[in-house]
Structures are given as structure tokens and as C-alpha cells.
Structure 1
Amino acid sequence: MRAILVQLHRYVGLSVAVFLMIAGLTGSILAFQSEIDAVLNPRLFRVENPGRPLPLSTLVSRVETAMPGASVRGVTLPTDAGGSIHVSLAAVGQKQLDQDEIFVDGATGQILGGRLWGAARVDRPHLIPFIYRLHYSLHMPGSWGVWLMGGVALAWMLDCFVGFYLTLPRGTQFWKKWRPIWKIKRGAGHYRLNLDVHRAFGLWLWAALFLLALTSVAFNLNTQIFRPVLTALLPMSPSIWDRSSLPLPPPVRVGWDQATTLARAEAVRLDWPHRPVQRIALAREAGFYQVRFGNRHQAGFGTWALYVATTSGHIIGAERGGDGQAGDIVDALIYPIHSGQIAGLPGRILICLTGLVVAMLSVTGVYIWWKKRAPRAARRHHERSKGPSTQAEAIHAAE
């Protein structure tokens, strides 16, 4: 059994090594994507002479006038007085947009610049969105990259258990044999150093690595694997996003400002702790606004949300992290765990370092395989000519 698991760990690791190295390095950058993006693009994220912001409905109207063929689907508000407003756009009809994310001076409505999110470009405005898309889909067309990276994440998640099992020593004196595996021997040669680093970091960060793999599966294979398994194991409440789109979008009788005011009043009624409005999104086809409360990197379960009907202004849904049934709580934890924001800044630092460890484990794993390759080939050649004399030798040859 152990020999089979050794082979499984080896070849699964080799198959996913390149993909995990890309995911690990890009994930380390994305742990601080908003800060890096702002440093790279100060003219987009900062306003020179901040003033009193325009009403949201006025701002949205000016943006849609300036961007013919586009409708505003979301507005992200700045966290301080000197920040710009981020506006997400959707194409109207069959029109192709050159920019679907623009940055606006909230006091004047002036467009500071824009970009096409996820475009295969590495200039300053597009670098972070490029890395983001590379992280989960490798920029492959359609859903192929999402499925591929989801499959890689699934294989990695299962291999976490295999790798942990293979560190467990056999025979007697279990703790005496297992304790050195958690350490890195000083003054060792290159092969032993790589082996120690591969095993020790894999053990010390096993929980973080497993959770990263699990949450990656949840993102990329959500409807295919994660949600069916979750709903089979734990009770879940129906999601407002599961509602089917209406044949014709309902009329938008409630404006952006009114929706935000109604959501704020509902938050007070629900006795939610004071949190700023972070983002307002319009799901036109489903007939509601989503108003999110909290900061972008809010520790814990992240931002909370209220849903306001576009026709009547009624509150038709609420999402507060940590509430609901067991499945709702697990589902709400996926992004906070994957991004590290569940623990605030220390959690994001841990995710950044863990991403580097993922890349390092991929490199050391390939190195260990390469260094063992020649001796294994020579041993197999010798055994084919002679054949193992004992069962113990046969097992050793398989390993």
C-alpha cells in the first residue's frame, strides 16, 4: 500500500507542479493586490483635489453618458476622502467594451482612466487584473482554464493527505522517528536540504496548504463539486443568487441613492454594528441592488450585504457572515480563508508566505524526483537482469 502511495504522490506532484508554482506565486501577489494596484496606478486610485461627492445617481448618469454602449453594474466607494470611485461596466447589447472598469473623481464625475479587466496585458493598469485571471484560469479561453486549475486544486487537496501519510514512520519508536522530519538538518547536502525543506514546510503548514486547496476547489469547481457535496453534508439556506433571471428585466424604479438609503436604514433596524457602505451593485436581470457594508479587507467573515428590490425598494434579502445554517457559514468562510482576510493583516501575510511555500514545494518536489531518477533507473535495470530475491527488496525497489 505504501509503495502505491509513494508512486501516487510522486506522479501527482509532477503533474501539477508547474500549475501550483504559478498559482502559488500569483497568489502571494494577490494577497496584497489592492495595495500593489494603488501603488502602480496612483493616477487612477487617487484624486488630487477631493471634494464633496456627487449623488450616486448623478455620478452613474454622467458615467453612462460618457461611455455610450455601457451600463453601470457596480460602484465601489473609496475608503478615504482622497480615493477615487471604481465603476464596473457591462456592455449593452452586442457592443464590445474597450474598458469595463473605470475610475472616477467622485466630486466632479471626471473619468480618471480605465482598463479592461483581465485583459492579457501587463502594463501598469492591467497588471494586477492579468495576474488575478492567470491565478485561477491561466488566461485560457472559455472555461477550460477554470476547470483545469480546479482539477489541479482537487488533485492537490487529495494529495495533501497522501503526503502527510508518507511522513508517518513505520515500526516502533514512532515519535522518535517522526520528530526529525519536522526539522531541517543543518549543514546537509543539497539533496538532503531539499528533502528536509519539502517535508518540514509541508508538515508545519499542512493545515494552511489543505485549506488553500479546498477553497480553490470551491471557487473553480463550485457547482460541479463543492456545492453539491456541501449541500449533501450540511443544511443550507436558499441563496438569492440562485433565483432564475426573469424573461424581461423588471423596471428600475428605485435609484442608486434611494437603494443605498433604504439599505442603511435596514442595517440600523437590524442593529448591525456601524460599517460604511463599501459597494453597490445592480443585478438588473434579477431585479435587485446589492449593498455591501464593511471595508474591503474586513477581518472575519468580510463584508455584509443587503438586497433591495429595484421595483419597490423592499429589502428582499440579507447576508451577515456567521449567520444562517451550518452550510451557509462554511460557504461564507471560503473567500475569507482563501484570501487570509479572516485574520486581518496577519492572515493576509500568512497567505502571502504560504503561496511562496506552495511554489517552493513544487520546485523541491521536482528536484527530489530528478535526483532519485538516475538511481531508480539503475536499480530497475539491475533488478530486471537479476530480480529481487526477497519480498523486502521488492518493496524497497517500488519505493
Structure 2
Amino acid sequence: TGKAYELDFNQIALDPVTGEEQGRRMWGEVSLSRENLMPFLYKLHYSMHIPEGFGIELGILLFGIVAIVWTLDCFIALWLSFPAWRGWRKSFAFRWKQGGYKLNFDLHRSGGVWIWGLLLILAVTSVSMNLNVQVTRPLVELFSPLTPSPFASRTPVSLDEQKFPGISRDEAVSLAAAEATRLGLEKPAGGVFYSPEFDVYGVGFYTAENDHGDGGLGNPWLYLDGQNGALAGTQIPGTGSAGDIFMQAQFPLHSGRILGMPGRILVSLLGLAVAMLSLTGIVIWAKKRRSRVLSDQRRRHAEPEMQAVS
């Protein structure tokens, strides 16, 4: 038909020895089933599962804009947290014994001040995750050159227009392994993918338990042309320009993986802190709104009395 065949799955798990199918799923599907729960939550985190429109991933775009607003809000919040610089110590204190609204206010203001730097990192890296090409890379390139990405230099095609790769996955891994030896990479080839949209192979070098790159700036990846196996690009942590290293740090910083397991625990706790700041902020807003409503009501009741007296 000249059209890519429609599948009801996009991930399949095979026994590495026998090739027997172990399971399959449609990654990113809106589903709370056991095999789809974690991908569902992961995609919910950065796009709310908002579908594409006008050829744009609307959910990713929306959350990227939210991340920009969050970044700006970090600086506005810091300014609001220090209304009087002479009393700066109050912005770090918690009135635990007084409780009630005062403690809620301190949890929101002082809690945000204590973790302000971490919140800013989360906000900035969120922009990088969702608006990498549109915002972050152009801004970084104003200060430091970036190594061209093999994906940025190629025009993607639709799945209906994709080519059949000229080399197999085995050949891609062998070619990448030889190049890795030349570059002095010590880890074995741990993962391989083929992008039909860009006609590029990617081969990552890491041990089996470290596919997400816990600790440091992640794992090295080599990219090969899908037709002839020529080296199309590299991503080797810690190498390149200052801009390259900054970009390499975005996901490790956002996920906490730059510090390994302690960093992941820290970011998990930070997620709870963000929820706490949101809830306490709502309480402050609701109390101020209630005060405004009561003040307006008292003023409206007072106006007839003032008119009667006059």
C-alpha cells in the first residue's frame, strides 16, 4: 500500500537467548494497566497526554511554556520573599510553635527560600527537556558553540517515507564498537536503536544495570549513518565546548542522576516539596481572597448607612 503498517504496540520484550516474546505494550498509551502505568505517569509528567495538533506536540509545547513561566516565577518569588532586607532572617525561619496560618505562610515562603536553588535548576532543566531545539540550544549558542546534532542536521521523514537501513543492527554495533575502542571508551555496547525518521543508528556504551547513566553526565553514545555506517556524530559526556557540557548536564540535573541514587532521592523529595509549596500557596491565596470578599461586603453594608446619616 505504500503506507507503514499499523501496529497495536510500539515496544516488545524478547528473551535474549530464545527470542521468545515476553510482553508487548503501546508506550505512552493512556492506560493504568500494570504494563502501562509507569509510561503513563512519565508522559503525564511532561505533556499531560495532550495530543498533537497542527503538526506540533501541543502538550510538550504547553509544558515548555509553563517551565519558562516557572523559571521567571523563581526570581519573582525570591524578590517577594525578602520584602525588608534588614529582616532577612525571618525569610528563613519557621514558626513551628505558633502553627496555623503563620506556619502555613512560613512553609510557603521560608520553605521556598531554603530550596530556591534546587527549584530553579528544576525549572531551567524543564525548559531544556521540552523546548531544547526551540529555546535552550539557541540561547546557549549565544555564549558557547554547540556540536551539531546528527538529528538537527537531517530532515526527518514520515514513517511512510522511511528508508530500509543499508546496514543491520549487528553491523552498526560492530562499527560503533570499533570507533569506541579508537576513542578510548571502556564500557561495552549496551544499547542500540535505529531512527527511521532520520536514518540514523545510535549505539550507547554502558553496563546492563546503568542504561540511564546514574552518576555524572550520562552514558556515551555514537551515531552512525543508517545507509553506510559512517560516523554521524558523538555524544561523549564531559567532552566538547562549555555549551556541550551544559546541555549534557540537563537531564542528569533534572532527574538527580548526576549524583546517582542520592540525587534521585533528593529530586523525589523535591517533588513532594513542590506539592507542599503549591498547597500552602493555595491556602494563602484563599485566605487573602476571603479577606477581600469580607472587606467588600462590609464596605457595601456601610455605604447605605453613611448615606442615611448624611
TM range (shorter): 0.7 to 0.9
In the alignment, which residue of structure 1 is the partner of 2:108? 198
Distance 2:93 2:32 in 1: 40
Structure 1 stretch displaced more, 193-202 or 140-149: 140-149
Question: Identity rate of aligned residues, in percent?
Answer: 40
Does residue 305 (structure 1) correspond to residue 215 (structure 2)? The answer is: no
Q: Secondary structure at the match of 2:145?
A: coil
> Offset at 1:166?
1.1
Amino acid at match of 1:372: K
Distance 1:253 1:140 in 2: 36
Q: 1:339 to 1:267 in 2, by over 3 A?
A: same
Q: 1:138 to 1:285 in 2, by over 3 A?
A: closer
Deviations 1:257-289 (A, max 9, x none): 2221221222121112x2232210112343331
In the alignment, which residue of structure 1 is the partner of 2:11? 101
Root-mean-square deviation (Å): 2.4
Distance 2:21 2:236 in 1: 33
> Offset at 1:160?
0.5
Distance 1:205 1:318 in 2: 35
> Offset at 1:111?
0.6
> Offset at 1:221?
2.3
In the alignment, which residue of structure 2 is the partner of 1:159? 73
TM-score of the aligned structures, taking structure 2 as reference length: 0.86
Amino acid at match of 2:59: G
Amino acid at match of 2:11: E
Does residue 254 (structure 1) correspond to residue 170 (structure 2)? The answer is: no
> Offset at 1:375?
2.0
Amino acid at match of 2:191: R
Q: Secondary structure at the match of 1:125?
A: coil
In the alignment, which residue of structure 2 is the partner of 1:234? 144
In the alignment, which residue of structure 2 is the partner of 1:319? 235
TM-score of the aligned structures, taking structure 1 as reference length: 0.68
Q: Secondary structure at the match of 1:124?
A: coil
Give unmatched runs, 5+ long, in structure 2: 304-310
Does residue 264 (structure 1) correspond to residue 177 (structure 2)? The answer is: yes
Q: 1:115 to 1:246 in 2, by over 3 A?
A: closer
Distance 2:133 2:73 in 1: 22
In the alignment, which residue of structure 1 is the partner of 2:308? none
Distance 2:156 2:277 in 1: 48
Q: Secondary structure at the match of 2:142?
A: helix
In the alignment, which residue of structure 1 is the partner of 2:88? 178
Higher relative contact order (CA 8 A, sep 6+): 1
Does residue 280 (structure 1) correspond to residue 195 (structure 2)? The answer is: no
Distance 2:166 2:12 in 1: 25
Give unmatched runs, 5+ long, in structure 1: 1-68, 70-91, 387-399
> Offset at 1:133?
1.2
Alignment size in residue pairs: 291
In the alignment, which residue of structure 1 is the partner of 2:265? 349
